[in-house]
Structure 1
Amino acid sequence: MANQVDPRFAGVRPADDATAGFDAGLRAYMLSVYNYMATGVLMTGAIAYLVANTPALLAVFFAVKANGAMGPTILGWVAMLSPLALILVMNFGMNKLSESTLKLCFYGFAALMGVSMSTIFIVYTGASIAQTFFVTAAAFAGLSLYGYTTKRDLSAMGKFLVMGLIGLIVAMFANFFFKSGPLQLGINIIGVLIFAGLIAYDTQRLKNLYFQVQGSDIMGKTAIMGALTLYLNFINMFQFLLHMMGNRN
């Protein structure tokens, strides 16, 4: 769980937010970000469903333990840890990687996330997963639209949310040992609120970033990295909501 922000562009503001000449290019840029992000989310969902419903594939990545619980195999651990490695490669290698390679890394990341998330189809009912997905999609659309259209500067809120995200990770790590139900509920609620704010903040940040990269040779790469950020926000919000709304099998 992470929200990747390129430090070179943190807090960037356009010189003139209302410049009409940029509108068509801005719309095309944001559309490419959303297209990458949506394709990644759909790929993750399709692969998760495929793995969960194909016993041979499921057995490759997950095994039933003696106590009846399902745990990852060696390949399962590789699939679960590889997305983090790809995020690091994409962030630190953005300038060196070609746009096509960066795109391949993004889709590889989405595919591996599908493998690691496949167990949700075993733990939760299909109806609750679908319901949570549509709630997340509707919330994402509204929050992203707000981030795109608001005249309010959300950069200060972004710094607060990043600090909150660090605290959330610490709380999740602590609850891994304490197994507290009330604490987990609090983590889920705070997690939803944090990623809701990050969706609006990152949308505005990506909009502002366009005015700095438009016409440059890194514009395509920036769109892919922006899609990765929004993808992570969407997936994390979905998971926290699923923990609250999902009906278990």
Structure 2
Amino acid sequence: MDRNVQRLDVLNGGSAYGVDSQRVLRNTYWLLALSMLPTIGGAWVGLTTGIVAHMAPGMSMILFLVGAYGLMFGINATKNSPTGVFMLLGFTFFMGLMMSRLLGVVLGGYSNGASIVMTAFGGTAGVFFGMATLATVVKRDLSGLTRFLMIGAIIAIVASLINVFVQSTAAMLAISTAVMVIFSIFVMVDIKRVIDGGETNYVMATLSIYLDLYNVFQSLLILLTSLTGDRR
């Protein structure tokens, strides 16, 4: 491929004609790694200021929905320009900020909170590397799984909303387990889609995989806290 076309491919999010799927995957991995920095920064801001923790649950839910979907719309609209990268990094900062409420509960309410967070992070990294490896090994098309995974994710979301009012610990554990399994498989499916050339824009590929890992981490954190947490 001509060098100028390659340069255009990098600048426009990986959607140039004749894009190499391996290059898209490599750029996706780099951007995914970079996205961890604003996520950590957002979580730190949330923990130190308590801005999310002090909100009423209903208000934080509205903020999350408006902010997350608004930023994702912006990412999709600018995915073919450098602005899309900055929009994605802004989105990951926001997601870290919204995660700070759960992190604050774990770190502040449990004597082994820091250990739980690190274990959840390590488990999420393990899921990523394991599923990424499987994605390179599996030869069959996995796109057919997307529909079933989406149905499972929707059911889990509805169940979690119901459980906000029911407050069942058993249901919470079951939902968290289901979410962890569903989005772990989503990691493999989304990476395989890039490998197969089904996703040629690394900004959108990064967004998909980031959301998968975000849900895996959050579910692991809830499970580990419920099963191994030592209250202060």
Q: For residue 75 of structure 1, report the CA deviation from its aligned partner.
A: 8.8
| TM-score (structure 2 length as normaliser) | 0.78
Out of 119, 122, 126, which is 1:138 matched to? 126
Distance across 2 between alignment mates of 1:154 and 1:62: 39
Query: Is 2:137 the counterpart of 1:158?
Result: no
- 3-state DSSP class of the match of 2:207? helix
Q: Where does residue 99 of structure 2 map in the other structure? A: 117
CA deviation vs aligned residue, 1:183-231 (integer Å, no higher than 9, x gap): 1111011111101111111111121226x85xxxxxxxx1011000000
Distance across 1 between alignment mates of 2:39 and 2:96: 4
Out of 1, 15, 28, which is 2:23 matched to? 28
Q: For residue 46 of structure 1, report the CA deviation from its aligned partner.
A: 3.1
| RMSD of aligned alpha carbons | 2.6
Q: Which amino acid aligns with 1:130?
A: M
CA deviation vs aligned residue, 1:8-27 (integer Å, no higher than 9, x gap): xxxxxxxxxxxxxx9x9433
Provide structure 2 residue ranges, at least 5 long, that are not aligned to the other structure: 1-17, 107-112
Distance across 1 between alignment mates of 2:61 and 2:164: 20
Cα pair distance change 1:141/1:174, threshold 3 Å: same
Q: For residue 170 of structure 1, report the CA deviation from its aligned partner.
A: 1.4
Provide structure 1 residue ranges, at least 5 long, that are not aligned to the other structure: 1-21, 64-69, 214-221
Query: Structure 1 stretches (4+) deviating beyond 6 angstroms?
Result: 72-76
Higher-RCO chain (CA-CA 8 Å, sequence separation at least 6) = 1
Q: 1:49·1:121 contact (CA, 8 Å) conserved in 2? A: no
Q: 2:156·2:175 contact (CA, 8 Å) conserved in 1? A: yes
- Number of positions where the alignment pairs a residue of Structure 1 with one of Structure 2: 205
Q: Which amino acid aligns with 2:71?
A: L
Distance across 2 between alignment mates of 1:145 and 1:83: 29
Out of 169, 181, 184, which is 1:196 matched to? 184
Q: Where does residue 4 of structure 1 map in the other structure? A: none
Q: For residue 51 of structure 1, report the CA deviation from its aligned partner.
A: 3.2
Q: For residue 78 of structure 1, report the CA deviation from its aligned partner.
A: 4.0
